[in-house]
Structure 1
Amino acid sequence: MSKRREHRWPQPLKGSQARIWYGGDYNPDQWPESVWDEDVELMQKAGVNLVSLGIFSWAKIEPEEGVYDFDWLDRIIDKLGKAGIATDLASATASPPLWLTQAHPEVLWKDYRGDTCWPGARQHWRPTSPIFREYALNLCRKMAEHYKDNPYVVAWHVGNEYGCHNRFDYSDDAMRAFQKWCKKRYKTIDAVNEAWGTAFWAQHMNDFSEIIPPRFIGDGNFMNPGKLLDFKRFSSDALKEFYIAERDVLAEITPGRPLTTNFMVSASGTGLDYDDWGNEVDFVSNDHYFTPGDQHFDELAYSASLTDGIARKDPWFQMEHSTSAVNWRPINYRVEPGALVRDSLAQVAMGADAICYFQWRQSKAGAEKWHSSMVPHAGPDSQIFRDVCELGADLDRLSDAGVLGTRLAKSKVAIVFDYESQWATEHTATPTQKVHHWTEPLDWFRAFADNGITADVVPVRSDWDTYEIAVLPCVYLLSADTSRRVREYVANGGKLFVTYYTGLADERDHVWLGGYPGSIRDVVGVRVEEFAPMGDDFPGALDQLNLDNGTVAHDFADVITSTADTARVLASYQADPWTGLNGVPAIVVNEYGDGKTAYVGCRLGREGLAKSLPQVFDALGIESFPERGGVLRVERGDGEHRFAFLFNRTHETHGVPVEGEVLVASLAQVSGDTLSISPNGAAVVKLQ
C-alpha cells in the first residue's frame, strides 16, 4: 500500500466562516437558465453552502473534440459564489460523450463473455484503455487550467463512483494490464502458479502471456479461486490507477486545492477496496443510500462508522445520500417521516463534516427522474424541502456550537471489516453460498447496539489491535502478518471475539492446514475438523440448530472436536443424535497470555448474538454497559468541546436522561430531566 496522503479539507470562501458543508449534486445544465436564480434563492433559504458541479457534463463542456464551452459553467459558478455557495468541481470524466465512443469504440469495456458495453447509460469506459486515458486527462488539464484561479472552487471531485458500473473489464487492454499487474506482484510466473494453485486442473502457466482475465468458462463451472481473487484486486487497482492519473493532472496545475472522489461504502458495498483507496484522497468522501426496513438506521450508522474507520477519524464528506426514495430498486421505498434529519445527523455524529445529497433539484426527464432530491417535483412547498431547511438550520447551529473539526470518540470495541475476505467468500465453490463476510460485521454492530454499545467499524489494516475489545467476524482470510497481530493482541491483554469462517485461508486463499481456524487455533482454544452448513434446499436437510443458551443457529456451524485445557464451553448444541452435533461446543472462551478470546462457532444472527453477549461479557471480564438498546449514543469531541448524539433506532418512543444543553431536537422533546425521543427522532447535546 502507498503512503497515506496528508489530510486536506475544503476551505470556506473568502470572507466566510468555516461551517459544516451542506448541499448536494447540482445539474444546472438539465434546466433552462431561468431556473438558476430560483435555485440560488432556495439554496440560501435552505442553508446550502456547497454544491457539486459538472459530474456528468463532459458532452456539455466538450461538445465536439477539441471544442470547449465553459461559459455556462462559468456563469453558474459565479452566480453561486456571489451568493456564498462554494463549488466542488468535478473532473467531468465520469462518462464519455458519444462523439468519443463513436470515434473510438475500443474504449468501451467488455463483459466476461466478450460482449461490448455500448453507450446509453454511464461509465461505459475501460480504465485500462490508453486512448480513453488520453482524452480524459486532456479534459482534466483543460478544466484545471480554466478554473485554477477561480475563488469559488474549493475542491476537485475526481470522476464519480469509480467501478459502480465498470468494475470488471475483460477486454484485451485489461488482459495486458492484468499480466503486468501479476508480474509486478509476483515477479515470476512460478510464483503466480504457486499462488493460484495451478497444479489443480492442469492450469500451469509457462509465461505471463498465458494469463488471461477470468472470462466465460461455461455455465456451472468453477473459476480458479486464487486467480479470481487477484482479478478483483487488480480491478480495484486498475480503477485506482486511473483515478490517480486524473488526480495528479489536477493537482499539478492546482496544487492548493484538495481532491477527493466519492466512495460507495455500505454494508454490502464491497466492489472496491476503499480502505486502500483511502490513502489516495485528500479527504474521504462517501455515497450512501439507506436500506429499507428494520435495518435502515443501524446499517446507515454501521456504514458511517466504517467510513470513519477508512478516514482514520479525520473529518470525512458525506457526498451523496437521498432525501427519500431512490430510483434503482425494484421497489423504491420512501424514507419514514423524520429520517431525513436523523440520518444526516447520524453521519455527522460518525465524523462527517459535510452533508450532501443527490441531488439538488429532482430531474423531470432521464433515468433518475424518480430519484428524490432536495427540491422535489412538488417544489419547495413540500415536506421534503421543509425538512431540508430544518436540517440546514440544525447544521448551522452545530457549527456555531463547535462540532466542526471535532472527532468521533474512540469506542472500546472495534469490529473488523475486510474487503478481500468478502471477495474470497464470493467464490461459487465454498462450503455454503449462504455465508459471506459482509453480513456478519453488521450483525455484530447491531447486537452490540442492542446491548448499549456503539462499536467502531474498522478495516483490517487499521489499528483494531489498540482497542480494548475487538471482533473478527467471518474474516475468512488471515495472512501470516494478521495472524501475528491477533496473537500479540490477545497475549498482551486484548479481549477478542472470533467467529466461524474466520482464518480459514491465507491471503492467497490457501487453506491453513491442521484444523480450523488454522493460524490462530491455539489463540481461540478450539479445533474444528469440518463444517455443518444448514439449509432448506433439500427436504430433510438440517436447517437449524438449537443452543442450550436459548438461541438458534442458522446457515452454518463449526464441528468443534476439541477445546484447549485453558478453554471453557459457554454454550453447546442441542440436536438429534443422528446429527452428531448434540453436545458439540458452540461458544467457547479461552485464556491466552494476558488476554481472553470468545469463539462463536455458528451463525446466530443479530438476535442470537445480542442475547448471548451478556454471558460472554461476564466470561471475558468485560464490564456491563448502560441498557439503552433502543437509543444509539455517539460522542464527538476534542480538548475543548464534547457532544453526545442520540438516535432512536426503533419504532417506539424512548426516554433518556438529559446530559447537558440540548442543541438539536428532531422529533424529540425535554420534559424535566428526561429527553423523550420519538421514532426516527434524534437529539444533539453539548456536554462541555
Structure 2
Amino acid sequence: MTQHRPFRWPQPLQGNRQEIWYGGDYNPEQWPEDVWDEDVALMRKAGVNLVSLGIFSWAKLQPAEDSWDFDWLDRIIAKLGAAGIAVDLASATASPPMWLTQAHPEVLWRDERGDVCWPGARQHWRATSPVFRKYALALCRAMAEHYRDNPYIVAWHVNNEYGCHNRFDYSDDAMRAFQEWCKDRYGDIESVNAAWGTSFWSQQMGDFSQILPPRFIGEGNFMNPGKLLDFKRFSSDALKSFFRAERDVLARITPDIPLTTNFMVSAGNSTLDYDDWGAEVDFVSNDHYFMPGEQHLDELAYSSSLVDGIARKRPWLLMEQSTGAVNWRNINYRKEEGQLIRDSLAHLAMGANAICYFQWRQSRSGAEKFHTAMLPHAGEDSRTFREVCELGRDLKRLGEAGLTESAVAKSSVAVVYDYESEWASEHTATPTQEVRHWTEPLDWFRALADCGITADVVPIRADWDSYEAVVLPSVYLLDEGQARRVRKYVAAGGKLFATYYTGIADGDDHIWLDGYPGAIRDVLGIRSEDFAPLGTDTEGVLDHLDLSNGTVAHDLADVITSVADTAKVLATYEAEEWTAMSGVPAVTLNIYGKGRAAYVGCRLGREGLAATLPDLLARMRVKGFDEASGASVLRVERVRTGGQERFVFLFNRTHRDVTVDIEGTVLVTSRATVHDDGSAATLKANGLLVMKR
C-alpha cells in the first residue's frame, strides 16, 4: 500500500475554537481597495472564516523578474485576520506572468502536433521544464520567507488544479522526462518493448532515446495502447513531481503550516491519479462542479464519497464549487432553489469539514465574469447571498454540535473506482467507443441508492476487501496482485459483484487469455468467448438485448458460453434466433470458497441495475437492503469519534415531497417541514434534514 503523509488539518486562528471552515477563493486584486472593507464586512455577515488568496497573482506579486510587491497582499491579509478570517495562501504558481514567457518561451507546453500553447489563458507551462521550475520555486521561496511568521495563514494552497489545461505536454522536455520515467519504471528497453507489445507493427526500440511521447500519428491511426497508458501515468507523475518540489520548498521554510492542492474529482474526471496524489498532501482538497439534470445530487454524492475514499475517511476540504451557474458549459444552467445549501451539506455529509466556493465576489471582467459567486453581480440583496448567509448559520450550528469530530460511517458495500482502468478504456480501438470505466461505478452507486444502500466509493488501492460486499464495475485492468486479492476476499466469505469489461487485461493492457474475464474467471464461474457490441449507428445491427428478468442491455454484452457447476444462471437474453444470443447467460451467481460472486455480463444502466439488484442483494444476503423505501431519499451517517453519537443526513432525491421519520434531535432543515407531533418531516424538492442521535 502507498505510504501517506501524516494527516494535518488547518488549525483555527489563535483564541478561536475549531469550526467547519467556510468561504471561498478571494481575488481582491481584481477590485479597488475601497471595496475590500465592504468585502470583509459582508464575509462576517455570511459567516465566512476562511478564504483562499493569491491563486492567480504571480504577475502582481512579481511584476518583473527583479522586483517584488507583497504590500497589497499584506494589507488584505491583515484586514481579514483582524476580522477573524483565516487565509489559505496560494503559492501563486498556477500561471506564469507575461514577462517570464516572453523571456523564456521554452517553458510553454506543446500539443501532440508540436504547436505551442501561447499565453492568453492559464496553465500555459510545462511541468518538465527546468527553466519554469527554477522560477516557480523562487516564487515559492519568496512567498514562504515573507509569510513564515504570519499568524493568519492556516494552510498553503499549492498551485491550482494541476493538469486542468496542461495535463499532456509533447515537448522535447517532456520527451526526455518520459524516457527517464520509462527507464526508472522498467530498467531496460527490452522490458519496455515487452510491456508495450512493440512486436506489433514493427515498433521495437533498441534504446531509450527512441521513446517518443504519443505525438500526432495521422488522422484515424491508432496509438500503441501500452505507450498511451504509460504516457498518462507519466503525465500524472510529472505534474506530481512538480507539486512535490513546490510543496517541499514551502514545507522546509514553514514546517508548521499544512499543505494541500485542489484535486478535480468528479464521476467523469480522471485527469490525474488522484488516489496516488492523495498520499502526497497533508489533507485532501477537491473542486467539484455539479452535473445538471436528474443525476445532480447522486453524482455529487458519488464524487464526494470517492474523495472520502481518497482521504481514507479523514476530513477533507471542498475548495471549490459554484453557488449557481458556471461559465464553461455550452449551456450554463443555474441551480434550483435550495440546491446551494443542499449541495454543500451533501459534501459535508460525505466527509468534508470545509465548504468553500469559487469565488467570493463575482468578477466584472475576464473569462469567468458569468461564473456565479457567493456575492453575485446583484449584490447582497439577492437569493444567492441570502442562501450563503443561511448556509453559514447552518455550518456554525453543525460545528457547535460536534460534527468536525466525526467521520463518515462505513457502508456495507464498496464500489471500486480505478483511474488506470479509465485511462485504458479510453483507447480508440476497443470493442465499442460507447463503453468507459467511469460510467459503471456511477450507475451502481445510483442503483444501490435506489435500493436503500448508500455505498462507499473507494479507489482500487484502498481497503475495499474489508467491506461486506464489493462491486468491481468495468474494472478493465486487473493485474495478478489485484486478481489474487479478489480470490482471497471471496474465498474468505466476501460478496463480490463484477460486471462486463472487468478483468480483461493486466497492468500492461495485455489481454488475459482463454476467455473473459480472464483475471478472475474462476471466481465468477463463467467464461465469455466474445463481446457483443450493441449500437444504433448502423441500420440493421443489434441495438439492444432484452433480459428474462425484464431489463434491457445496451452498448455491450458478453457472449458467455460456459458456466461452472457451482454457478447459477439468474437471467438470460431473449432475442431472435439470428442474433445467436437467445438463452445466453446474462446474470449469474457463483459459490467460491466461503463467498459468493455475482456477474452482470452486460450494460444495464442505472434503471436496469436497480431492477436487477433486489434479487441479487437478497441472494447475496447484503445488509441494509431496503427496496421499498430507499429510492426517494439519500441517507448518510457520520459517527462521532470515540462515541455513539451519529449525525444523520437525509436528502430528497426527487422533485416531489417525501416524508421521513425523525430519529433524533433536528439540527438543520432546508426546504423541510417538521410535523406538529415531531415524529416526521416532509422534504420538498432539494430538501434535507440533519439530525443528531
TM over 0.5: yes
Q: Distance in 2 between matches of 1:179 and 1:682?
A: 53
SS in 1 for 2:3: coil
Structure 2 residues not aligned, in runs of 5+: none
What is the match of residue 669 of structure 2? 665
Note the 1:219-230 alignment, pairs <5 A: 219-230=219-230
Question: Which amino acid in 1 is paired with 2:637?
Answer: E
Note the 1:115-134 alignment, pairs <5 A: 115-134=115-134
Note the 1:280-359 alignment, pairs <5 A: 280-359=280-359
What is the match of residue 376 of structure 2? 376
Question: Which amino acid in 2 is paired with 1:644?
Answer: V
Q: Deviations over 1:85-104 (max 9, x none)?
A: 00000000000000000000
- 2:351 touches 2:408 (CA, 8 Å); kept in 1? yes
Note the 1:403-422 alignment, pairs <5 A: 403-422=403-422
2:628 equivalent to 1:653:
no
- Over the aligned positions, Cα root-mean-square deviation in angstroms equals 0.7
- 2:193 touches 2:205 (CA, 8 Å); kept in 1? yes
User: Which of these residues, 663, 683, 686, is aligned with residue 677 of structure 1?
Assistant: 683
Question: Which amino acid in 2 is paired with 1:241?
Answer: S
- 2:412 touches 2:622 (CA, 8 Å); kept in 1? no
1:669 is displaced (CA, Å) by: 1.5
What is the match of residue 636 of structure 2? 634
What is the match of residue 209 of structure 2? 209
2:531 equivalent to 1:525:
no
- 1:320 touches 1:358 (CA, 8 Å); kept in 2? yes
Question: Which amino acid in 2 is paired with 1:136?
Answer: A
Question: Which amino acid in 1 is paired with 2:671?
Answer: L
1:434 is displaced (CA, Å) by: 0.2
Q: Distance in 1 between matches of 2:339 and 2:320?
A: 15
SS in 2 for 1:518: coil
1:519 is displaced (CA, Å) by: 1.6
- 2:183 touches 2:208 (CA, 8 Å); kept in 1? yes
What is the match of residue 608 of structure 1? 608
Aligned residues: 687
SS in 2 for 1:280: coil
The TM-score, its normalising length taken from structure 2, stands at 0.99
1:47 is displaced (CA, Å) by: 0.2
- 1:617 touches 1:624 (CA, 8 Å); kept in 2? no
Q: Deviations over 1:430-488 (max 9, x none)?
A: 11000000000000000000011000000000000000000000000001000000000
When residues 623 and 403 of structure 1 are mapped into structure 2, their CA distance, relative to the original with a 3 A threshold, is: closer
Question: Which amino acid in 2 is paired with 1:203?
Answer: Q
Q: Distance in 2 between matches of 1:563 and 1:3?
A: 41
SS in 2 for 1:4: coil
SS in 2 for 1:183: helix
Q: Distance in 1 between matches of 2:304 and 2:656?
A: 23
Q: Distance in 1 between matches of 2:167 and 2:113?
A: 15
- 1:545 touches 1:552 (CA, 8 Å); kept in 2? yes
Q: Distance in 1 between matches of 2:647 and 2:107?
A: 50
Q: Distance in 2 between matches of 1:9 and 1:365?
A: 34
Q: Distance in 2 between matches of 1:269 and 1:489?
A: 29
SS in 2 for 1:247: helix
Note the 1:211-290 alignment, pairs <5 A: 211-290=211-290
Question: Which amino acid in 2 is paired with 1:675?
Answer: A
Q: Distance in 1 between matches of 2:578 and 2:378?
A: 63
Question: Which amino acid in 2 is paired with 1:685?
Answer: M
1:623 is displaced (CA, Å) by: 4.3
Q: Deviations over 1:395-435 (max 9, x none)?
A: 00000101012100000000000000000000000110000
2:149 equivalent to 1:149:
yes
1:2 is displaced (CA, Å) by: 5.2
1:655 is displaced (CA, Å) by: 0.6
SS in 1 for 2:244: helix
SS in 2 for 1:423: helix
Q: Distance in 2 between matches of 1:246 and 1:449?
A: 41
Question: Which amino acid in 1 is paired with 2:128?
Answer: T
Q: Deviations over 1:177-236 (max 9, x none)?
A: 000000000000000000000000000000000000000000000000000000000000
What is the match of residue 510 of structure 1? 510
Q: Deviations over 1:107-137 (max 9, x none)?
A: 0000000000000000000000000000000
What is the match of residue 692 of structure 2? 686
Q: Deviations over 1:118-157 (max 9, x none)?
A: 0000000000000000000000000000000000000000
- 2:412 touches 2:623 (CA, 8 Å); kept in 1? no
1:625 is displaced (CA, Å) by: 2.3
Note the 1:77-96 alignment, pairs <5 A: 77-96=77-96
**Which shows bigger deviation, 619-628 or 207-216?**
619-628
SS in 2 for 1:404: helix
What is the match of residue 471 of structure 1? 471
Question: Which amino acid in 1 is paired with 2:529?
Answer: E
Note the 1:609-624 alignment, pairs <5 A: 609-623=609-623
Question: Which amino acid in 2 is paired with 1:439?
Answer: T
1:642 is displaced (CA, Å) by: 1.2
Question: Which amino acid in 1 is paired with 2:515?
Answer: G
Q: Deviations over 1:282-329 (max 9, x none)?
A: 000000000000010000000000000000000000000000000000
Q: Distance in 1 between matches of 2:268 and 2:66?
A: 41
2:433 equivalent to 1:433:
yes
- 1:353 touches 1:405 (CA, 8 Å); kept in 2? no
Q: Deviations over 1:533-553 (max 9, x none)?
A: 000111011000000101000
SS in 1 for 2:519: helix
Note the 1:42-61 alignment, pairs <5 A: 42-61=42-61
- 1:47 touches 1:392 (CA, 8 Å); kept in 2? yes
1:683 is displaced (CA, Å) by: 1.0
Question: Which amino acid in 2 is paired with 1:259?
Answer: L
1:618 is displaced (CA, Å) by: 2.0
1:386 is displaced (CA, Å) by: 0.2
What is the match of residue 565 of structure 1? 565
SS in 2 for 1:635: strand
- 2:412 touches 2:624 (CA, 8 Å); kept in 1? no
The TM-score, its normalising length taken from structure 1, stands at 0.99
Q: Deviations over 1:15-58 (max 9, x none)?
A: 11110000000000000000000000000000000000000000
Question: Which amino acid in 1 is paired with 2:102?
Answer: Q
Structure 1 residues not aligned, in runs of 5+: none
1:656 is displaced (CA, Å) by: 1.0
Q: Distance in 1 between matches of 2:46 and 2:619?
A: 52
Q: Distance in 2 between matches of 1:11 and 1:621?
A: 44
1:257 is displaced (CA, Å) by: 0.4
Q: Distance in 1 between matches of 2:613 and 2:681?
A: 28
1:622 is displaced (CA, Å) by: 2.6
Q: Distance in 2 between matches of 1:2 and 1:107?
A: 32
Q: Distance in 2 between matches of 1:171 and 1:622?
A: 51
1:576 is displaced (CA, Å) by: 0.4
- 2:658 touches 2:682 (CA, 8 Å); kept in 1? yes
1:176 is displaced (CA, Å) by: 0.1
Q: Distance in 1 between matches of 2:681 and 2:358?
A: 32
When residues 624 and 256 of structure 1 are mapped into structure 2, their CA distance, relative to the original with a 3 A threshold, is: closer
Note the 1:142-221 alignment, pairs <5 A: 142-221=142-221
What is the match of residue 539 of structure 2? 539
Identity %: 71
- 2:503 touches 2:517 (CA, 8 Å); kept in 1? yes
- 1:503 touches 1:517 (CA, 8 Å); kept in 2? yes
